[in-house]
Amino acid sequence: METATFAAGCFWGVEEIFRTTPGVIDTKVGYTGGTTKDPTYQDVCTGETGHAEAVQITYDPEKVSYEKLLQIFWNNHNPTTRNMQGPDIGTQYRSAIFTHNAAQEAEANNSISALDKAKIFHRPIVTQVLPALTFYPAEDYHQKYLMKRGMGSCHISPTK
């Protein structure tokens, strides 16, 4: 099993997209990329912790590749808007890929270069590629939020 961590706006919808992907074993929503230890949702919402709302994915690389996870990430948010997704504004909603090894870092950076070169999006990608830091799971009520409510998404279509 391997781990991938993505931030693409509000973590509820992002989690549901990855949770239902064949080859994904588990998903957790939480906070990463900041400096505050053990942040709460209320802490992160202040914009002062430096954390992003993120989804940590445990996946079987024999069933789903990291490249496929990157494609899902790109196709389900707008990576050209800084610190916002749809109506959600703030640094906690930034687009970021938190890499767990050198291979993930290279794939993420190559993916950005290829998408920018192909002009898939009308504006340059502003997604951060950063080494994975401590991942703090969000409060229980955030975990599998949409699934618990029988909802398939709160999806915001990306602008290409």
Catalytic option among 4, 7, 8, 10: 10
For residue 33, give the amino acid letter. G
Query: Does residue 10 carry a catalytic annotation?
Result: yes
Catalytic residues: 10
